[in-house]
Amino acid sequence: MSKQPYDKLPKNVRRYAPPPLPTEISLDQPTFDEFARKKITAGLFGIFLGAWGIHKFIIGRKTAGIIMLSFTLTGIAGACLIVPLIFPITMHFIGIIEGVTYLSRTEQNFYRLYAVEKRSWF
C-alpha cells in the first residue's frame, strides 16, 4: 500500500474530510407551487411593512423576522432617548429592498434561493 501525501503531516494536524452529501430530501421543504404563491405576498409585505419583518415570516424565516421585529420595536421604544427612529427606518429600507428583490426574481429563482437554499437576507 502506497503512502498518501497526508500521511507525512504531523500528528497534531487534523485531516479534512468533506461533509457527506445529503441523501434525503427535507420533508419540511415546501413544494414549488406552494412557495411560488408566497412570492407576491412576501414582496408586497416587504415593500409596505418591511420594518416589521412580516415578509420574513411569510417565507418561513422566523429568526430573521424576529431580528427585524426586535430592531423595529427597540428603535420605537428608544426613539425618545437616542437618535429617533434609526432602527425602524433602516429596517424599512431593508424591507423595501427585499420586497423589490422578491418581486423581480423569477418563480424558479425565488424557489431555489429561499426554499431550497434557505437564504434569509436579500
Within a domain: residue 16?
Answer: no
Closest by Cα among 107, 104, 117, 119 to 43: 104
Distance between start and end Cα atoms, the chain? 51
Tell me which residue range forms the domain holding 100: 32-116
pLDDT digits (tens, 9 = 90+) for 55-94: 999 998 999 999 988 888 887 777 666 666 777 888 889 9
Within a domain: residue 92?
Answer: yes
pTM for the whole structure: 0.69
CA distance 70 to 20: 36
Domain tally, the chain = 1
